[in-house]
Amino acid sequence: QVQLQESGPGLVEPSGTLSLTCAVSGGSITSDNWWSWVRQPPGKGLEWIGEMFHRGDINYNPSLESRVTLSVDKSKNQLSLKLYSVTAADTAIYYCARMPYFYYSMDVWGQGTTVTV
Amino acid sequence: EIVLTQSPGTLSLSPGERATLSCRASQGVSSDYLAWYQQKPGQAPRLLIYGASKRATGIPDRFSGSRSGTDFTLSITRLEPEDFAVYYCQQYSKPALYAFGQGTRLEI
């Protein structure tokens, strides 16, 4: 079955760039699924960051749109997230998740990776 | 922007009891666009219900979702010890925006 694994630096300096990848195994990133990033600050709820489809369609949370870039590397079967000009408020667990077409929800999640600013 | 409000914030019940969790949308939401997740400490969220009432793969039938107007309900009959967790509702609104409720903690 499909598995997702996030990775990246656990510590980012303020005003720096947070860069994460999400490796997809057990399935293709070019399948009929959207792929999302979600984050969760310590002890708080979930916040959707954005989604993308392998053909290049991308949607961002308006609250983060000016600072975030999502991309896909089909050759590596992985997703990438870049968040610019980070502050302490960006400290969170970052998850990637699969979103099947017409589910409008996230049915497979990575284990998450903790990033501290 | 649609805002989801979950209630109660914390629900204290015992194993074997029935849990009823609420998620109210600030404006009309299509049933197709409402989902529920369970999250246990140190774990990623797990999809329980999508399309307001459709159980995700592998979810026991003691979990069910329903809708009445702008109110969505997650019901858990016969609580098992492993059901005590935090539950989130999530909605999709066009053109492309996902939002989560603030969560309900179900505690023993």
Q: What is the pLDDT of residues A2-25, one digit of tens each?
A: 999 999 999 999 999 999 999 999
- A105 with B92: Cβ contact below 8 A: yes
**For testing contact with chain B, the best of A1, A104, A107, A114 (most B CBs within 10 A):** A104
Does the CB of B53 have a partner CB in chain A at under 8 Å? Answer: no
Contacts of A71 (CB under 8 A, 6+ apart): A52, A79, A80, A82
Whether A34 contacts A52, CB under 8 Å:
yes
Class of residue A16 by CB neighbours under 10 A (exposed 0-12, middle 13-18, buried 19+): middle
Contact list, B57 vs chain A (CB under 8 Å): 107
Per-residue pLDDT, A78:
97
- B98 with A45: Cβ contact below 8 A: no
CB contacts < 8 A, A to B, total 60
How far is B56 from A67, CA to CA, in rounded Å?
33
Does the CB of B101 have a partner CB in chain A at under 8 Å? Answer: yes
- A102 with B92: Cβ contact below 8 A: no
Q: How far is CA B21 from CA B6, B7, B8, B72, B94, in A?
A: 8, 6, 7, 8, 25
Query: Which of A104, A101, A93, A77 has the alpha carbon at shortest distance from A37?
Result: A93
pLDDT in tens, B32-67: 889 999 999 999 999 999 999 999 999 999 999 999
* Cα–Cα–Cα angle for B4, A48, B22, rounded to 5 degrees: 25
Q: How far is CA A104 from the centre of its chain?
A: 16
- CA of A110 vs chain B CAs: smallest distance (Å): 7
How far is B42 from B46, CA to CA, in rounded Å?
12
Q: What is the pLDDT averaged over residues A38-49?
A: 97
Q: What is the pLDDT averaged over residues A50-79?
A: 94
Per-residue pLDDT, B96:
67
Does the CB of B32 have a partner CB in chain A at under 8 Å? Answer: yes
Q: What is the pLDDT averaged over residues B68-79?
A: 93
**For testing contact with chain A, the best of B5, B55, B98, B102 (most A CBs within 10 A):** B98
Q: What is the pLDDT averaged over residues A104-110?
A: 96
Query: Which of A24, A22, A16 has the alpha carbon at shortest distance from A90?
Result: A16
pLDDT in tens, B9-35: 999 999 999 999 999 988 777 878 899
Q: How far is CA A69 from CA A2, A12, A21, A60, in A?
A: 24, 17, 12, 9
- Within chain B, what is the greatest distance between any pair of CA atoms? 41
Closest by Cβ to A103, choosing from B45, B46, B50: B50
Closest by Cβ to A104, choosing from B35, B44, B95: B35
